Structure 1
């Protein structure tokens, strides 16, 4: 099955049609998607700014990251679930947009960056977390995260504008 055929199947599904045609449910799903983004990407920005030494430089990284983790993961879960629902409802319109695939690529790269950060630096957070100036690799991960999540959000916001042309 080709990608466009798969998108058409999702779009034509009872769930996709019902969601797309609902006066209340679709905007609620969109709103929840934005709330999930605020919790996930919004909070990760604060962590990234700390990694760069620009936000609360005297507070240990683990003191910022640890209490935020449940909110970050909850936000990512909410964003993922609502994003899939929004995709199903609009699949044939967004699957033809290059910006949609850019968004997915930026999200994937941000995920790889986060996994690399956890593998390389997260295991030894106690060794460097309390320093005002953090190791170069930690700061590079912060820069990459800021850039990739910013690009994912911008490309995501372009989707509704480009899909109506």
Structure 2
């Protein structure tokens, strides 16, 4: 079974059809997806800007990062769950859009960047997070995160516009 056939199967399923045609559920899920984006990416931008030294430079990184972590993870959980539901409802249409695969690629790269940061630097934030100048790799991770998540949002916003052509 090809990816396009699988997407069509999801799209034509009883669940996919009901979700797509629901007057209330589809807009509710889409709204939750956007709220999750606002929470997770809005807070992540604060963290990334702190890593770059552009936001609250007088505070140690840990004081910015640690209290926001549960909110970031909760926002990403909402994004992930609602994103799957939105895909099921519109799979046949968006699977043919190259911008959808760009979005997935940017998400994968952002996830790799976050994992690398967490494994290499995030666990030892107490050792380097109080320095006036943060390590170059930490600043690079913040810049990369800002860039990739911005590209995810741009690609995601293009999907509804390109799917009607």
**1:119-140 Cα deviation digits (max 9, x unpaired):** 1111221111112321100000
Instruction: Look up the match of 1:160.
Output: 160
Give 3-state SS (helix, strand or coil) of 1:87's partner: helix
Instruction: Look up the match of 1:11.
Output: 11
Unaligned runs of 5+ in 2: none
Please report how far the alpha carbon of residue 68 of structure 1 lies from its aligned counterpart in structure 2 after TM superposition: 0.5
Unaligned runs of 5+ in 1: none
Aligned partners of 2:69 and 2:124: how far apart in 1? Answer: 17
Task: Please report the TM-score for the alignment, with normalisation by the length of structure 2.
Answer: 0.99
Instruction: Look up the match of 2:95.
Output: 95
Give 3-state SS (helix, strand or coil) of 1:134's partner: coil
Note the 1:23-38 alignment, pairs <5 A. 23-38=23-38
Instruction: Look up the match of 1:110.
Output: 110
Please report how far the alpha carbon of residue 73 of structure 1 lies from its aligned counterpart in structure 2 after TM superposition: 0.4
Aligned partners of 2:96 and 2:108: how far apart in 1? Answer: 19
Give 3-state SS (helix, strand or coil) of 1:53's partner: coil
Please report how far the alpha carbon of residue 106 of structure 1 lies from its aligned counterpart in structure 2 after TM superposition: 0.2
Aligned partners of 2:133 and 2:30: how far apart in 1? Answer: 39
Residues matched between the structures, number: 165
**1:85-118 Cα deviation digits (max 9, x unpaired):** 0000000100000000000000000000000001
Instruction: Look up the match of 1:54.
Output: 54
Please report how far the alpha carbon of residue 40 of structure 1 lies from its aligned counterpart in structure 2 after TM superposition: 1.0
After TM superposition, what 4+ stretches of structure 1 lie above 2 angstroms from structure 2? none
Give 3-state SS (helix, strand or coil) of 1:114's partner: helix
Give 3-state SS (helix, strand or coil) of 2:56's partner: coil
Aligned partners of 1:25 and 1:76: how far apart in 2? Answer: 20
Aligned partners of 1:47 and 1:64: how far apart in 2? Answer: 7
Task: Please report the TM-score for the alignment, with normalisation by the length of structure 1.
Answer: 0.99
Please report how far the alpha carbon of residue 42 of structure 1 lies from its aligned counterpart in structure 2 after TM superposition: 1.2
Aligned partners of 1:125 and 1:66: how far apart in 2? Answer: 10
